[in-house]
Amino acid sequence: MHRRSFHAAALTAMFGPAAAATAAFPAPAGWVGAAWRGGQAVVVACYEWFMSLHQPPHAGTGEEGAQEPAPRGQLSGLLDQLEGALDAVNFWRVPEKKETMWRNIRATLVRARLNVQEIATWRGLVKALRGE
Q: pLDDT tens digit string along 69-121?
A: 999 999 999 999 999 999 999 999 999 999 999 999 999 999 999 999 999 99
Round to whole Å and give the CA distance between 123 and 117: 10
Q: What is the pLDDT of residue 2?
A: 47
Summarize the chain as % helix, strand, coil (round to 5).
70, 0, 30
Provide the percentage of residues in the chain whose pLDDT is more than 90: 44
Mean pLDDT of 2-15: 53
Backbone angles phi, psi at 76, to 5 degrees: -60, -40
Phi, psi of 72 (to 5 degrees): -55, -35
pTM above 0.75, yes or no: no
**Do the Cβ atoms of 77 and 20 come closer than 8 Å?**
no
Tens-digit pLDDT profile for residues 38-62: 666 677 777 777 777 776 655 545 5
Pinpoint the alpha helices (H) of 27-91.
31-53, 72-88
Higher pLDDT, 57 or 25: 57
